[in-house]
Chain A
Amino acid sequence: MPIQVSIALLLLINLHLLGTSRLNALIRAVAWQAFLICALGALVNRDVLEWHGWLVIVTMVIVKSIVLPMLMRRALRETAVRREIEPLLGYAASLFAGIILLAVSMWGAWRLPLPNAIDPLMIGSAFFTFGVGLLLIVSRIKAITQAIGYLIMENGIYLFGLAAAAGQPLIIEMGVLLDVFVGVFIMGIMVFNINREFEHIDTHQLAILKD
C-alpha cells in the first residue's frame, strides 16, 4: 500500500513540476521527488538490499534532496533569478504534454515484457519522470531550470534502475555519477554567471573573476 501512495504522490509532483514557474517551488518539489524515489527504492528492495545498498540509498537522499537543492537555491540567490519568464512551451501546454507523456509511459510499461518480480507501475512512473525532466530541459530557457530538469531526468533513471535491475547493484550505483553533472551545471551557473542563452555572458564580469 505505501508503494501505491508513493507512486501517486510522485506522479502528482511530476505534473506540478511542469506547471509551476516559480523556481523556488520547483527546487522544493525536486527535493521531495528525490526523497520519494529513494523511499520507493528502499520499500521495493528491502528484502534484497545489503548494507552497502542501504548506504547508497542514504547517500542518494543526502545528495539529491539536501545538498543539490541547497546549492541550487544559492545559485538562484546569486543570479537573482526568480521565475522562468518566457518558456519555449507554455505552462498549460507543458501540462497537457505531461498528461500525454504519462499515458504513453504507462502504456509502454504495460506492453513491455517484464521479468516476474518487476512492477510495471514503477517502470511506467520511471519513464514518466524521465520524460518530464527531458521536457523541462528542452522547453525552458534558463540554465538553472535546465539543471533542475536534468536532476528530474536522473531521478527517473534511478527509479528505473531500482525497479528493474536490482540484481546489478553496480549499475544502480553508477547513477550517483550523474549527480556530478548537476553539480557541474550549478558551478557553471555560479562561477561563469551563465544565466540563459549566451549573449548574456558579460565579458567584463569574466575579467573581474581574474581567471
Chain B
Amino acid sequence: MLSALLLIPFLSGIACYFTASDRLRRQIPVAAALANLAVVGMIWARGGELPGGEWIGVDSLSLLFLVINGILFTASAVYAAGYLEQHRREYDANRWLSREAIFTGTLLVFLATMTLAIVSRHPGIFWMAIEATTLTSAPLISFQRSNRSLEAAWKYLLICSVGIALALIGVIALAVSADFSPALNNLPITFSMLIANAGALQPVWLKAAFVFILVGFGTKMGLAPLHNWLPDAHSEAPSPVSAILSGALLNCAFLGILRINTVLVHAGLGEFSNQLLLALGIFSMFLAGGFILMQADFKRLLAYSSVEHMGILAVALAAGTATHAGGMLHALNHSLTKGMLFLVAGNILAAFHTKSTRDISGLVRTMPLTGVLWIAGFLAICGVPPFGVFVSEFTILAGLAAGERWIVMALFLGALGIIFVGMARIVIPMAYGTPGESGPADGATRWWSAAPPLVLCILVLVLGLYIPPPLYRLIEASARVIGVN
C-alpha cells in the first residue's frame, strides 16, 4: 500500500511525458489523483498506520498530511486539465515531451516527491524528498516562460537550494549528536530512534542541528524572514500550481520542522526550540500583515496570507501541547481554504488578464459565482465564523489561554486584526463596487474552473460546523505524535 502511494503518481507522471494525445494526457492527473485519494482512504479505513520500514512508514501525522495533499491535489488536477486546454499551443499540440506533457508529468512526479516527504521516517530520506520537491516544482512555476515566471523560478531555486544545503548540515549535525553515545553509534538515525533515545543525544549538536534545519526547511516553509521566494513563486506560477505550493508543499516542509522539534522536546530542549519557533511564527504573522496592508496584486496577497498562516502553524506548534490539536486542524483548514482562493484567483486572472487589485471591481455583478466564492474565501481565510479556519484559530487561542500565554495571545490577535483589515480593504472593493468599464474580457464560467473551488469551499464550511468523528480522532492522534505523552 505504501508503495502504491508513491508509485501511482510517479509512474503516471512518467506516462504523461510519453503520451502524445493532449486529451488523454489531461485526464491522467485526475485519474491518478483519485487513485491516490482512494489509497489514502484505504489506509485510513484500516486504522491509519503502516509501520513500513526504517525509511518510510505512515503514522497518524503522515496520514493527516496525506489526506490534505490528496484533496488539494485532486481539486488542482481537475482545474489544471481545463487550464491546459485554455493555454494550449497549436504548434505544440499532440506531441510527446511537449511543454504541456512535461508540465503534466512533472506535476505528478511533484506529488510523488511530496508524498515521499510525508511518509519518510528518516531525516535523510525526508531531506532528499524535500530537495526533489524543489527540483520538480521549479519547472511548474516557470511554465509560462515569461520573464517574470523565469525570474520567480530562478529565485525559488537559488534561495531554496541554499536552504536545503543548510538543512543538510543540520541532518549531519543530528548524526553527530547521536555519535557521542556508543550505544547509538551505528543505528540508523530514524525519527523514532532519535525520539526514543533523545536523552542520549549530545545537546549542543542537537541544538545546532535544530537551528540549521529550522533555517533550511523554514525557507521552504516560508517563515519570515526567509520567505523571499514565496510571493514571487506563488504569484507567477499557474494558479493550480500556486494552490498546490501553498496548500501542500509548505505543509511538507512544516512536517520536517515539526518532527525535529519533537526530538528536541523529548531531549528536554523544548524551551530552546519552541522559543525560536514562536519568534519566527509571530514575526511571520506581522510581516505578512505589513505586506498585505500595502498589496496591489491579488495573487501576492494570497501568498503573503500563506506566510501568515505558516506563522500561525509555527506558533501553534511552539506554544505547548494545548495548541497542537488546533494547529493540526488549522493545517487542514488553511490548505483547503488557500487552495480554493488560488483557484478563484486563477479564474479572476483568466477573465480580467490582470493581477492588479485596482483594475477589478464589481465581481459579484459581472461574475456572480466567482465573486461570491472570492468573498467567501476571504471571510474563511480571515477566520470569520462559520468557516473552518475560525474553529481552528479559536482552538489555538483557547490553547494559548489555557497555557496562560497572554503576550503571545495578544500578539496573535493583533496580527489577525491587521490582516483582516488589510485584506478587507482589497477584497471588498474587488467584489462589490461598481463594475469598471474594462469588464471581464472573458467572463464565462466553466464547470472545471468553478467546481473545484466550490467543493473546497463547501468542505471548509462543513469543517466549521461539524468535524466528523474519524477526522477528530485523526487530529487527536496526530497531536499525540507531536506532544510529549
Contacts and interface: CB of A to CB of B under 8 A. Distances in A.
Interface string B164-180: 11001101110110011
A206 B165 contact: no
A157 B185 contact: no
Contacts of B127: 174
Nearest to A133: B165
Contact of A177 (B131, B150, B173): B131
A154 B166 CA distance: 10
A209 B138 CA distance: 19
B154 A194 contact: yes
Given A115-B179, A115-B180, A160 B169 contact: yes
Contact of B124 (A118, A154, A171, A178): A171
B24 interface: no
Given A171-B175, A178-B164, A184 B150 contact: no
A184 B189 CA distance: 30
B179 A165 contact: yes
A113 interface: yes
A165 B157 contact: no
B231 to A, nearest CB: 15
Interface string B94-126: 000001000000000000000000000000100
A150 interface: yes
B78 to A, nearest CB: 25
Interface in B111-166: 124, 127-128, 131, 135, 138, 145-147, 150-151, 154, 157-158, 161-162, 164-165
A102 to B, nearest CB: 18
A117 B14 CA distance: 46
B93 to A, nearest CB: 13
B172 A160 contact: yes
Interface residues of A, number: 37
Contact of B99 (A171, A184, A211): A211
Nearest to A180: B135
A80 to B, nearest CB: 20
A188 B154 contact: yes
Nearest to A164: B176
Interface string A135-148: 00100000100100
Contact of B150 (A146, A168, A201): A201
Nearest to A181: B161
A154 B147 contact: no
A211 B92 contact: yes
Give chain B's interface secondary structure class.
helix
B291 to A, nearest CB: 21
A192 B171 contact: no
A206 B202 contact: no
Contacts of B189: 168, 171
A130 to B, nearest CB: 7
Contacts of B441: none
B45 interface: no
A168 B168 CA distance: 13
Contacts of A157: 165, 168-169, 172
A165 B171 CA distance: 10
Interface residues of B, number: 37
Contact of B204 (A113, A130, A137, A184): A113
A181 B154 CA distance: 11
A180 to B, nearest CB: 7
Contact of B128 (A130, A137, A177): A177
Contacts of A178: 131, 161, 164-165, 168
A19 interface: no
A150 B128 contact: no
Given A115-B176, A192-B150, A130 B169 contact: yes
B139 to A, nearest CB: 10
A137 B176 CA distance: 27
Interface in B182-196: 185-186, 188-189
A75 to B, nearest CB: 14
A153 interface: yes
A127 B124 CA distance: 20
A211 B148 CA distance: 16
A18 to B, nearest CB: 18
A201 B151 CA distance: 9
Contacts of A160: 169, 172
* Nearest 5 CB-CB pairings of A with B: A198-B151, A165-B175, A168-B175, A181-B161, A164-B176
24 contacts: A113-B180, A134-B162, A143-B154, A157-B168, A161-B168, A164-B172, A164-B175, A165-B179, A167-B175, A167-B179, A168-B175, A174-B124, A177-B128, A177-B131, A178-B161, A178-B165, A178-B168, A181-B135, A184-B135, A185-B158, A188-B154, A194-B150, A206-B150, A211-B89
Given A153-B165, A167-B185, A181-B131, 20 more contacts: A118-B176, A134-B162, A137-B158, A154-B165, A161-B168, A164-B175, A165-B179, A167-B175, A167-B186, A170-B188, A171-B124, A171-B172, A171-B189, A175-B168, A177-B128, A178-B164, A185-B158, A188-B157, A198-B150, A206-B150
